[in-house]
């Protein structure tokens, strides 16, 4: 399958116009592509980033509102119909944080220590002393004061807690010390609470993103001793968004009676205090811990043997949190199309724990240059076939709140949206990577074949080289696991941790997530700022320009394609593979399950996907019915009653795992039933999966050839 030729400056379509899947004739689109590609400007992207990161802008703060106004002004200047949309949501803001540790009664640590690097070495950091920086905290943690012995639980995965139990180490009534990594931080608290812990401390081990990986900031890109990873500990796999209003938009007009009461919130947020630590503050606790040596694969990079505890070390945590309703602001820009009921949506969040140069404003800067390019096309008379909506989401860091509330408010009209394109950590280095539903994986590959890479060749070429060298990585825990081997570049599955979640997993909009990655050790710390970015991520902003182009071509090609460029052939192959793996897992777990209905439905869906692919390649004169069927087939994969224990999540093929949070679990109802050794639950989910696949297959089969 050919793709559009590389374009780096304004140019007419080449003499031999390539064929692109979804287009009858790509000639005119090639001209629009060439015009668009010449617009995104590296220098302007850098200017956007400098403005957006000039101050800490935690969601709901005055500085956060200033970024909303900046983005809205850029949208308006490009000709987009623009509005700032407020929501009233519950957010946790720290009032005071105290964590102190004692060894046989002698104080060995009192913190948290302020994040600070030596200003006389390697240029220091010009942003670290801003008085508006909030203390390092975990959003959604309750207030609380506890004193208890400490147990070290490695990464705090379900397997880690089970291992402690096997070793005879109880965490009941203890404070659990875990390190960041392997799963979503909220899941660490979720599991610790289930095992009876009184509190949780989450620290950054230098083995994972500090000196063990390379030079510390400001000499290198990795986490210095005092840097802390902030982050929400909302139980994201239960439901994202405003914790008070699952499934309901938190508009300013929403009455208090429509919000959950305090007692009803227990399923979505921790009931025990949780706070992050730097390795500087965790080190004395770990060093003094008694008890057995930890399993050797639990050893981090600090220069002593890690022990499990409990013993002579106690920790006193006193967290005072202001848990209040606050106003946040989404920015929504619209370009009306000739087909208004099948919009293309693209977005990036704007709020940050502190400055957020990489996460998320490298994505915002790229998105603004994408909008800049779309604006130039509008000035030249272009009008998209499908309406385009660009969202700048707020309060993503707190639990995907801005995007979730907007989706919940507009769920009915978004039922026919044809795609959601996400970027979050837009640029932390030069290695492009992506995650997507299978129906859009080839679409992403094709787009990257059209965009030049600053490293030479196309983005696709460099992506392939990076994967061959094993450099590819995705933020937010997306992974390539559970995906059948492919001959082409690998594209991950969508779990959670960014704003595609409400679109795909709640209302069934096919989605992608793109980024350009590199050594990024300062995630969610004070040091994720403009100074770090220009030293280690993208000093000349050429990868910002690259990402603006890729993002823009995703939007343009989906908005203007004659036939929606979905690949249900690959989707079907993947689902058949997922079921094969599930059957193997069930056999290994000695569960007796009947997969026959799901197997038959998966094969039917795969056959329908292969057949519809042939129709898309040679479409009928009138494509409206074909496009409706293609879009409805994805929506049919939703289970209206949702997943067991977490009904907000409705997608039968992809969701974040109950015990992973970020990473995708495929055919989640079935897979998690098997993992829980719950035969009744697993069998019920096999039936629900078969029903969804048969619904979707029937829609594809009904298309007239």
The catalytic residues are 396, 596, 651
Place of tokens 């492919």: 486
CA distance 523 to 230: 8
For the beta carbon of residue 87, count every other beta carbon within 10 angstroms: 28
Task: Confirm if 86 and 109 have CB atoms less than 8 A apart.
Answer: no
What tokens does 81 get? 């119909």
Question: ∠ CA 70-73-77 to the nearest 5 degrees?
Answer: 140
CA distance 583 to 420: 32
Phi, psi of 343 (to 5 degrees): -75, 155
Task: With H, G, I as helix, E, B as strand and everything else as coil, classify residue 425.
Answer: strand
For the beta carbon of residue 196, count every other beta carbon within 10 angstroms: 13
Task: With H, G, I as helix, E, B as strand and everything else as coil, classify residue 488.
Answer: coil
Task: With H, G, I as helix, E, B as strand and everything else as coil, classify residue 528.
Answer: coil
Q: Which of 577, 608, 566, 626 is nearest to 697 (CA)?
A: 608
Using N-to-C axis directions, what is the helix angle for 542-560 and 42-52, rounded to 10°?
100
Bond before 360 cis per omega within 30 degrees: yes
Task: Confirm if 568 and 580 have CB atoms less than 8 A apart.
Answer: no
Task: Confirm if 315 and 148 have CB atoms less than 8 A apart.
Answer: yes
CA distance 454 to 467: 17
Task: Give the helix/strand (H/E) hosting 340.
Answer: strand 339-349
Place of tokens 């007239």: 704
CA distance 259 to 93: 20
CA distance 23 to 618: 10
What tokens does 124 get? 């220091």
Cα distance from N-terminal residue to C-terminal residue, the chain: 22
Question: String of b and e for 133-166 (b: at least 16 CB within 10 Å)?
Answer: bebbbbbbbbebebebbbbbbbbbbbebbebbee
User: 2-7: long-range contacts (C-beta < 8 A, 24 or more apart)?
Assistant: 3/446, 3/447, 3/449, 3/450, 3/460, 4/29, 4/30, 4/33, 4/449, 4/450, 4/553, 5/30, 5/450, 6/450, 6/451, 6/452, 6/457, 6/458, 7/33, 7/34, 7/37, 7/38, 7/450, 7/452
Task: Confirm if 433 and 471 have CB atoms less than 8 A apart.
Answer: no
Q: Which of 4, 1, 7 is nearest to 453 (CA)?
A: 7
CA distance 32 to 557: 10
Place of tokens 């933020």: 475
CA distance 589 to 211: 40
Residues in the chain, overall count: 705
For the beta carbon of residue 212, count every other beta carbon within 10 angstroms: 13
Task: Confirm if 312 and 96 have CB atoms less than 8 A apart.
Answer: no
Question: ∠ CA 511-541-217 to the nearest 5 degrees?
Answer: 95
């Amino acid at each position: 399958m050919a793709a559009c030729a590389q374009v780096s400056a304004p140019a007419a379509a080449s003499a031999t116009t390539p064929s692109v899947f979804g287009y009858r004739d790509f000639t005119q689109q090639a001209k629009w592509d060439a015009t668009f590609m010449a617009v995104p400007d590296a220098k302007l992207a850098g200017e956007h980033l400098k403005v957006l990161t000039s101050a800490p802008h935690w969601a709901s703060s005055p500085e956060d509102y200033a970024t909303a106004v900046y983005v809205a002004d850029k949208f308006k200047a490009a000709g987009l119909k623009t509005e700032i949309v407020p929501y009233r949501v519950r957010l946790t803001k720290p009032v005071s944080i105290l964590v102190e540790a004692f060894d046989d009664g002698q104080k060995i640590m009192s913190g948290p220590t302020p994040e600070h690097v030596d200003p006389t070495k390697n240029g220091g950091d010009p942003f670290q002393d801003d008085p508006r920086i909030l203390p390092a905290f975990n959003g959604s943690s309750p207030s609380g004061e506890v004193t208890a012995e400490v147990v070290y639980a490695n990464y705090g995965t379900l397997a880690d807690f089970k291992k402690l139990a096997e070793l005879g180490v109880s965490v009941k009534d203890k404070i659990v010390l875990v390190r960041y990594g392997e799963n979503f931080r909220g899941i660490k608290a979720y599991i610790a609470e289930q095992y009876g812990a009184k509190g949780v401390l989450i620290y950054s081990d230098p083995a994972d993103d500090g000196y063990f990986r390379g030079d510390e900031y400001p000499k290198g890109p990795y986490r210095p001793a005092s840097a802390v990873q902030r982050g929400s500990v909302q139980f994201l796999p239960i439901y994202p968004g405003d914790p008070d209003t699952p499934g309901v938009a938190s508009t300013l007009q929403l009455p208090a009676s429509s919000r959950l009461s305090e007692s009803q919130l227990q399923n979505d947020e921790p009931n025990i205090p949780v706070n992050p630590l730097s390795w500087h503050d965790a080190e004395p606790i770990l060093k003094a811990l008694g008890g057995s040596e930890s399993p050797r694969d639990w050893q981090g990079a600090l220069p002593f043997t890690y022990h499990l505890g409990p013993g002579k070390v106690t920790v006193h945590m006193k967290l005072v949190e202001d848990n209040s309703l606050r106003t946040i602001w989404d920015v929504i820009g619209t370009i009306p199309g000739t087909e208004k009921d099948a919009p293309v949506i693209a977005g990036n969040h704007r709020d940050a724990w502190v400055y957020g140069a990489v996460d998320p404003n490298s994505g915002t800067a790229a998105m603004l240059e994408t909008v800049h390019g779309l604006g130039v096309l509008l000035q030249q008379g272009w009008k998209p076939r499908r309406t385009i909506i660009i969202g700048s989401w707020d309060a993503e860091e707190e639990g995907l709140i801005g995007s979730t509330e907007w989706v919940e408010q507009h769920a009915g009209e978004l039922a026919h949206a044809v795609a959601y394109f996400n970027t979050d950590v837009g640029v932390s280095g030069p290695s492009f990577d992506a995650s997507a539903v299978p129906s859009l994986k080839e679409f992403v590959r094709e787009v990257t074949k059209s965009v030049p890479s600053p490293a030479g060749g196309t983005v696709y070429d460099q992506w392939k080289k990076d994967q061959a060298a094993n450099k590819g990585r995705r933020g937010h825990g997306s992974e390539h696991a559970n995906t059948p081997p492919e001959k082409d570049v690998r594209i991950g599955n969508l779990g959670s941790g960014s704003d595609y979640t409400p679109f795909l997993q709640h209302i069934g909009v096919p989605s992608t997530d793109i980024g350009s990655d590199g050594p990024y050790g300062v995630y969610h710390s004070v040091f994720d700022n403009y100074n770090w970015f220009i030293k280690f991520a993208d000093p000349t902003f050429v990868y910002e320009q690259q990402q603006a182009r890729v993002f823009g071509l995703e939007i343009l090609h989906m908005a203007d394609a004659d036939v929606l460029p979905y690949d249900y052939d690959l989707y079907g192959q993947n689902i058949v593979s997922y079921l094969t793996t599930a059957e193997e897992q069930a056999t290994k777990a000695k569960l007796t399950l009947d997969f026959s209905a799901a197997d038959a439905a998966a094969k039917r869906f795969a056959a329908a996907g292969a057949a519809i692919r042939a129709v898309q390649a040679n479409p009928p004169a009138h494509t409206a019915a074909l496009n409706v069927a293609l879009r409805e087939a994805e929506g049919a994969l939703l289970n209206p009653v949702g997943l067991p224990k977490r009904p907000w999540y409705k997608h039968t093929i992809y969701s974040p795992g109950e015990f992973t949070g970020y990473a995708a679990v495929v055919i989640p109802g079935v897979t998690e039933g098997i993992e829980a050794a719950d035969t009744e639950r697993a069998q019920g989910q096999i039936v629900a999966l078969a029903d969804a696949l048969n619904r979707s297959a029937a829609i594809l089969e009904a298309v007239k050839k």
